[in-house]
Structure 1
Amino acid sequence: MTSEVAAPADSDAQNARFRRSWYWYDWANSAYVTTTATVLLGPYLTAVAKEDACPDLAEGAKCLTNLSVLGVPVDPGSLVPYTVTAATILSAIVLIFVGAIADRSPRPARLLGGFAWVGAAAASLMFFLVGSNWQLGVGLMMVAAVCLGSAQVVYDSMLCRIAGPDDRDAVSSRGWALGYLGGGLLLALNLALVTLRPFGLDTETAVRVSLLSAGLWWALFTIIPVKGMWDLRGVERPEVAREAGVVGGSVRQLWDTFRELRAFPQTMLFLLAYLFFNDGIQTVIGVSSLYGAEELRFTQQQLITTILLVQFVAFGGALLFGRLAGRIGAWRSVLLSLVLWTVTVGLAFLVPEQAFLPFIALGVLIGVVLGGSQALSRSLFSQLIPKNREAEFFSLYQAMERGTSWFGTLTFGLVHQLTHSYRWAIIALVVFFVLGGVLLAKVDVRKGILDAGNELPRVV
């Protein structure tokens, strides 16, 4: 018996319309990823935690008093990496179920909007993070991270429905590029707010208003992809457990996915490689402002300026790597980016304290490789998964995606707690890029695409 599925698009015009709407979700969520998750929340939540643990701490001194988190002693400087780790463990459980449900949803755009708007609400409520109430920040950060990942599962799976094999590298790269542009634009406005502090705002209030703006931006611009892709149909009745309903069928379908994954060894090998190198990328993104503030002693304005530069350089970097993939293929392009990531982390270890120009140069290098490694990993994985099971397989992918690093943040937090140095914590991340690169080099992409029953792109 054949399954009843909908075609991804019945005309080139409709396909193009879906793509134009699809790009805007990258623009929407990148404001949260950039302003909140990458720049402001890490240092701000760390400061709130230190206020609770060491209320009389002198400026520039290290806080050596631990917080108590469920009875476990936690260094305030390690609270943010540990929180991201906890959110990842929760996400690893939640997202795989999200993928199974998404593949059975007749309107993927409705799920996309639901997860995005709950995450945006949590992001907006960070405005109320004041005093020493770090527990509120931890809770909201976890909710936002899980919702960000859940919405991304649905969003990434749509790529397979709106773009053919030869178009996915370019479409994915354009989405990432637009995301960097949108995230950079809001970050520029927040840089002006934190620097100039108009209307008599103090620095803390300016940061809280910036956190609120990221949540509102995420919510408002999500309206565009939800409305624009409302007519994009999902897989209403997959072959697995079609009679079992949404929840029961999703669980049985999920179990079937894990069994099926063994039939795609190249896809499994790619996921293992991605687990390592993406954890390295996400950890660098997530702790960059913390590293700059606590280890290199840069001001918040300097950090925002650097991340802002990264955003606009990454806009060009994503497009550049998209073109490169058209010449040498996505697989080789991602491998090249991992070599550059390894060099970048090594250089970060060597940047002297308060040496702003070398830090800026490092930001430029990160910007060049950031977009390409993320966008092309997404499009490459889309070639290695079977049709009509996109969201399920992307849920496994997204469990290791941006803002949900597990091993990387745990390693970073543990190394810092043991050494009280962010330098040794950052250099420890080199192992993730090396292992990820070695495993990715072993992936036979051509065989993986054919095993998944997909058409080979022009350049593999």
Structure 2
Amino acid sequence: MTEVAAHGVRPETNEQRAWYWYDWANSAYVTTTATVLMGPYLTAIAKESACPGIRTGQDCTTNLDVLGIPVSPGSVYPYTVTVSTIVSAVILIFVGAIADRSPRPTRLFAGFAWAGALAASLMFLVAGTSWQLGVLLVVVASLCLGASLVIYDSLLCRIADENERDAVSSKGWARGYLGGGLLLALNFALLTFRERLGLSEGAAVRISLLSAGLWWAGFTLIPYRGLRHITGTVATPVERSAGVVGGSIAQLRSTLRQLRAYPQTMLFLLAYLFFNDGIQTVIGNSSLYGQEELGFAQGTVLGVFLFVQFVAFAGARLFGAAAGRVGAWRTVLAGIALWTVVVVAAFFVPARSLAVFLALALLIGLVLGGTQALSRSLYSQLIPRGKEAEFFSLYQAMERGTSWLGTLAFGLTYQFSHSYRWAILVLILFFVVGGLLLSRVRMRTGIVEAGNPVPSVV
């Protein structure tokens, strides 16, 4: 009997099984590229451009000239994520509006996924001092990932009812950590034995970046084929004669006006903006922190992240089980409190203290998947029917790989302090504010306001 069936609702469906696979597919990019390898690699490329011959771990005090603006090489990657998010915040809301009016949303989803996978694969070409190409490809891949996730997340409302979503969303995240962890293990082996294979460290990293793009593209075929029969919703508030683009703009204007009628949904989005920015900034810059601030070799950091992936699989399932007993809202609040502990502990981790770093990684793994999976299912309960993709576009602008307030604060703090310790400590503010705002969200009221049935446990 499946976990869902054990709670007295329908057994797991073929659509749900197919849906899980996109978490498996894109997590390879999120883990191998966005989280572990691209931050330190792009930083090394930028440092080589500004300070030729510099060694790993050495501070480069020469700034790069970016459109006339002096930028520290160590801030290039955080700023790149910031730029990609600002672009996403403008574009993704239109993607959601178009997706809600598209007769074949799954095709649109797969198109964005494969475009992002292509950009991820082309990162293989980033070498020497070509940090500009790396920046461009990170922005494109991040935008396409966000666009595909807008539609993917919205399909959760189509394949699971109100009592299933916490479990289904948690299973998807857990599947993602297994997939991301498996590819990361293969890339860890490649980096470990690169000398026996006659590869330089840079070549091994580039091959790993390529593998993440190919993995993302290949496994996207499973959710595309399993969900391709799903058609667009008929509940659109504007005439279809306006066309997809014109009608989508009109629909978006209508939604932004109507959002004021859902104050709990707005409050949840505001809370999510803060605590998810904190989570995303920790995830996206943790390998950079491990290598540049704590002085660990790239292979060591990669091994620790591999450990985190498999702990996160158990953590996602654990949080899903806890939500079934005490409710997702309380479980997420507890997760935010634990994230605050993570940031404080990270500030005090001694350089090259592997045991302490592993203990911190264990805590990160336990809270990583659970808070994100349950946030997704919580938000799905607050969305009015017929506007799933459009509302998830607002959510996705603040989702993994697209945070910008956190990365901007992190990058600016490093720019002025030249210390990643102070940069990561700034993130406490995001968890505190996000937690306080989430504690004020009245979930049952918001679900009723959105016109949705209230789950047995919120």
* TM bucket normalised to smaller: over 0.9
Structure 1 partner of 2:430: 432
- Which amino acid in the other structure matches residue 48 of structure 1? I
Tell me the CA shift for residue 61 of structure 1.
Answer: 2.5
Q: Is the 8 A contact 1:412 1:425 kept in 2?
A: yes
Output the CA distance in 2 between the equivalents of 1:164 and 1:337: 24
The offset of 1:29, in angstroms, is 0.1
Question: Aligned residue for 1:449?
Answer: 447
Cα drift, residue 119 of structure 1: 0.2
1:402 maps to: 400
Match of 1:129 among 126, 132, 141: 126
AA at the equivalent of 2:54: L
Structure 2: segments with no counterpart, 5+ residues: 1-9
Distance in 1 between the 2:235 and 2:449 partners? Answer: 23
Select the residue among 342, 363, 370 that pairs with 1:365.
Answer: 363
Letter in 2 for 1:119: G
1:160 to 157, 162, 174: 157
State the superposition RMSD in angstroms: 1.2
Displacement, 1:232? 1.2
1:183 and 2:175 correspond? no
Which residue of structure 2 aligns with residue 144 of structure 1? Answer: 141
The match for 1:332 among 322, 330, 333 is 330
Counterparts of 1:45-56 in structure 2, within 5 Å, are 45-56=42-53
Q: Is the 8 A contact 1:115 1:148 kept in 2?
A: yes
Query: TM-score, normalised on structure 1?
Result: 0.96
Residues 1:316 and 2:306 are matched in the alignment: no
Q: Which residue of 1 aligns with 2:24?
A: 27
Of 218, 221, 233, which residue of structure 1 is paired with 2:219?
221
Secondary structure, aligned partner of 2:241: coil
Question: Does the 8 Å CA contact 1:241/1:253 hold for their aligned counterparts?
Answer: no
What secondary structure does 2:65 align onto? strand
Q: 1:237 to 1:333 in 2, by over 3 A?
A: closer
1:240 deviates by 1.9
The letter of the residue matching 1:118 is A
The secondary structure found in structure 2 opposite 1:200 is coil
Alignment counterpart, residue 111 of structure 1, candidates 100, 108, 115: 108
Per-residue CA deviation, residues 247-304 of structure 1 (Å, 9 max, x unaligned), is: 0000000000100100000000000000000000000000000001100011111111
Any residues of structure 2 matched to 1:202-241 within 5 Å, and which? Answer: 202-236=200-234, 238-241=236-239
**Aligned with 1:85 (options 59, 62, 82):** 82
Report how far residue 59 of structure 1 moved: 5.2
Shift of 1:237: 5.8
Deviation per residue, 1:153-183 (Å, 9 max, x gap): 0000000000000000000000000000000
Secondary structure of the residue that 1:206 maps to in structure 2? helix
TM-score, normalization by structure 2: 0.97
In 2: Cα distance, 1:241 partner to 1:349 partner? 54
Give the whole-Å Cα distance in 1 for the aligned partners of 2:261 and 2:57. 55
Query: Helix, strand or coil for the counterpart of 1:103?
Result: helix
Q: 1:56 Cα deviation (Å)?
A: 3.3
Contact kept? 1:241, 1:252, Cα under 8 Å: no
One-letter amino acid of the structure 1 residue matched with residue 431 of structure 2: F
Alignment of 1:337-352 (within 5 A): 337-352=335-350
Residues 36 and 60 from structure 1, CA distance in 2 versus in 1: closer, same or farther, beyond 3 angstroms? Answer: closer
SS at match of 1:385: coil
**Structure 1 contact 105–236 (Cα < 8 Å) conserved:** no
Alpha-carbon contact 1:169-1:380 (below 8 Å) kept: yes
Query: Which amino acid letter does the alignment assign opposite residue 410 of structure 1?
Result: L
Shift in Å, 1:105:
1.1
8 Å contact 1:279–1:405 — kept in the other structure? yes
Percentage identity across paired residues of the two chains: 67
Q: Distance in 2 between matches of 1:403 and 1:68?
A: 25
Corresponding position of 2:244: 246
Q: What amino acid sits opposite 1:106 in the alignment? A: P
Native 8 Å contact 2:106 2:230 kept in 1: yes
Separation in 2, partners of 1:237, 1:160: 14
- The answer (yes or no) to whether the contact 1:46–1:80 under 8 Å persists in 2 is yes
**Deviation at residue 412 of structure 1 after TM alignment:** 0.1
Native 8 Å contact 1:330 1:380 kept in 2? yes
Determine helix, strand or coil for the equivalent of 2:70.
Answer: strand
1:135 partner amino acid = Q
Question: Residues 106 and 236 of structure 1 are in contact (CA less than 8 Å); yes or no, is this contact kept in structure 2?
Answer: no
Instruction: Name the CA distance, whole Å, in 1 between partners of 2:304 and 2:273.
Output: 27
- Counterpart Cα distance in 2 of 1:169 and 1:341: 20
Counterpart in 1 of 2:3? Answer: none
Tell me which amino acid in the other structure corresponds to 2:30.
V
State the Cα deviation string for residues 311-361 of structure 1 (Å, max 9, x = none). 100001000000100001110000000000000000000000011111111
| Alignment deviations for residues 119-140 of structure 1 (CA, whole Å, 9 cap, x no partner) | 0000000001010010000000
Give 1:23's aligned amino acid: Y
Aligned 8 A contact 2:78 2:411 in 1: yes
Equivalent residues of 1:322, 1:376 under 8 A apart: yes
- Structure 1 residue 57 displacement after superposition: 2.6
The answer to whether the Cα contact below 8 Å between 1:277 and 1:436 also exists between their aligned partners in 2 is yes
- The secondary structure found in structure 2 opposite 1:447 is helix
Distance 2:55 2:341 in 1: 36
Correspondence for 2:415? 417
Whole-Å separation in 1 of the counterparts to 2:403 and 2:365: 19
1:3 counterpart residue number: none
CA contact (8 A) 2:57 2:291 kept: no
Corresponding letter in the other structure for 1:139 = L
User: Are the aligned partners of 2:121 and 2:212 in contact in 1 as well (CA < 8 Å)?
Assistant: yes
Distance 1:182 1:358, change over 3 A: same
Q: Deviations over 1:63-87 (max 9, x none)?
A: 0000011111000000000000000
Cα offset, 1:242, TM superposition: 2.4
